[in-house]
Structure 1
Amino acid sequence: MPPVELAEAPTGSRQFSPLIPGSGKLEDQAGGSLTEMVLLAPPGTVERRYTTALALKALAPGGRLTILAPKDRGGSRLAKELKGFGCDLSETSRRHYRICTCERPAQLTGIEEAITEGAPRYDESLGLWTQPGVFSWNRLDPGSALLEQNLPALSGKGADFGCGIGILARAILKGPGVTHLALLDIDRRATEMAARNIEDQRAEIHWTDVRSGLRLSGLDFVVMNPPFHDGGAEDQSLGQSFIRKAAEALRLGGVLWLVANRHLPYEGVLKPLFKRVTPKVEAAGYKIYEAQK
């Protein structure tokens, strides 16, 4: 969310963030249908240009755009990018943010190219559908790869917490003993890509926040590579919350398979919640645990 003291959203405005479950989809908003928009710009160049282009396209000519970002996370590039789209703008700086305001010009330039560049794509090297902005969107995350290589054949019903584009879920579903797999992710784009990548009737995909959304119970297994960054800053409480939710969702005797960066102190959360916590693999800066409830 944009810091309210820097850029307050208009009263009655609609949320379009792909990271807030239940929000609208900016890609589906009719062109020229909005009069004002406030946008916290993403840090990645391709994703930022894509989102900015979608916002400008959705605004009516003369509609007002306020766009901001931390200076070191794309803010310093906002003015140049807006000018490249044909916008005349004003720019201010507050609290290490760059804040740009402009009216949507009658004639935009380069909009469709930016939208095409940031849209979903099939990545030949991954063999999967993906989209800029999704976690590890153009490479195989080494933690997930390590967990995939060391997962045993699972069975029963389970869940993939923070499923991303479906890399671990595809590996899980190779097991014939798996009867149902819930895939959960807070990023709408990730769940949309997972839906493209997984054609299996046993899979059920949910756009939700693992910490507060869908409530699961009686699971035989949970698999996860939990996040530990929020807004670019390390936040160990994210992974800790995932572990607690896994313990709530598992049946007695159910198992959690977890991969994490070596430096993250998850043992202190795991041990009170599970009767057996077993380190399985440690390699390339990552560690894998099997924990039985």
Structure 2
Amino acid sequence: MKASRLSLILENGALALPETGLIAIYGAGGDDDLRALPKERCEIIQGFKPDYDALVARGFQVTVAAGGPYAVSVVKLARSKVKTRNMLAEAVAKTPGGLIIVDGMKTDGADGFYRECRKRLKVSEAFSKAHGKLFWFTAEPVFDDWAASGPIQLDDGFETVAGVFSAEKADRGSQALINALPAKLPKRLADLGAGWGYLSRHLLKREKITELHLIEADFAALECARKNVIDERAHFHWADATRFTPAQPFDGIITNPPFHTSRKADPDIGRSFITAAAGMLTPSGQMYLVANRYLPYERTLSEAFHHVEEIAGDNAYKILRATKPLRNVRPQR
């Protein structure tokens, strides 16, 4: 594990932690270097299930919602600027007079956040390394305007929050998928990577669907889905879709799989969704998937299903239908 900016700054003595009190870490990843922090005092706030599970396995106390009060709060910058602002405002509120440490990559806005914080209060010199930046300050109540202002209201009564995928509007790919689905669908379905429930609400307009399982790794997104999809046929699972095992195989799967966890596209995520889906289906099961036109999923689909076809699409998206999984067991990991 490569030494993090946080470990380096604590180990070289440039920054000292208070000897007592809880330490909050907002947004730590499953494999982040946290060795310089006393594990028994740490509380990690993390709502992404794969990271949550990895941190629990490492022996950390992990929660989806901050408790406090804290003596120290470490805020790791998120991809969403609004989400980072919300986290920082909450950390300051829950760490009154305590130490706030901000750490993140330049691609996630580290330089900008450093400048913005310096306009509000006294901030340390920045420690720059590995295309990122870390700085710290004593918490003062000067970030109230960055606090979460409540849910985002979208058309058709949908509700989201800052930081979830496509928080400001329905994803174009999901809209294309809904429009391309055939009139007849299997009765027992799963929405793999369900997000805040756009696909599922539209699917449940079909009376012949008897059961729909929403499987989503982002806790905040799934909580939005619970509010957006009010239907007794809906079942909600906070889970890593690539590792989920249903109680019974599904007849069909609908999915708009993610294709990045950072700012760089990673087709392997979508490929993992495909192989996982094949393991969740009945022998005659079928999957409908939407993907950006350039993402190379066809080979993985042909290796996992007997039949694959493109049923709709345009210059930006393709809608793929795959039927009859070649093996009805989850691949080894």
Give the match for residue 156 of structure 1: 187
Label 1:204 to 1:262 Cα distance change in 2 as closer, same or farther (>3 A). same
Match of 2:139 in 1: 104
1:25-67 CA distance string (max 9 Å, x none): 33x524xx11122221113221111111111112141x22221
Paired position in structure 2 for 1:212: 243
**Who is 1:199 aligned against?**
230
Q: Distance in 2 between matches of 1:194 and 1:21?
A: 20
Is the 8 Å Cα contact of residues 152 and 160 (structure 2) preserved in structure 1?
yes
| TM-score (norm: length of structure 1) | 0.90
Matched, 1:14 2:43: yes
What CA deviation, in whole Å up to 9, does each residue of 1:246-270 have, x standing for no partner? 0000001111000001111111111
* Superimposed CA distance per residue, residues 181-205 of structure 1 (whole angstroms, 9 cap, x where no aligned partner): 1111111110011011010011111
Equivalent residue, structure 1, for 2:20 = none
1:75 and 2:106 equivalent? no
Measure, in 1, the Cα distance between the counterparts of 2:93 and 2:2. 24
SS in 1 for 2:126: strand
Alignment of 1:12-161 (within 5 A): 12=39, 13-19=42-48, 20-21=51-52, 23-26=62-65, 28-30=66-68, 33-61=69-97, 63-83=98-118, 86-105=121-140, 108-111=141-144, 113-117=145-149, 119-123=150-154, 125=155, 127-152=157-182, 153-161=184-192
Deviates more, 1:158-167 or 1:75-84: 75-84
SS of match in other structure, 1:234 = coil
Unaligned runs of 5+ in 1: none
- Output the amino acid matched with 2:38: T
The answer for the alignment partner of 1:230 in structure 2 is 261
**Percent of residue pairs identical:** 28
The alignment yields a C-alpha RMSD, in angstroms, of 2.0
Alignment: residue pair count: 283
User: Comparing 278-287 with 10-19, which one deviates more in the overlay?
Assistant: 10-19
- Equivalent positions of 1:237-276 (< 5 A) are 237-276=268-307
Whether 2:206 is the aligned partner of 1:175: answer yes
Aligned to 2:327: none
Q: Is the 8 A contact 1:160 1:223 kept in 2?
A: yes
TM-score (norm 2): 0.79
Match among 279, 288, 291 for residue 310 of structure 2: 279
CA distance in 2 between partners of 1:273 and 1:142 (Å)? 26
CA contact (8 A) 1:79 1:89 kept: no
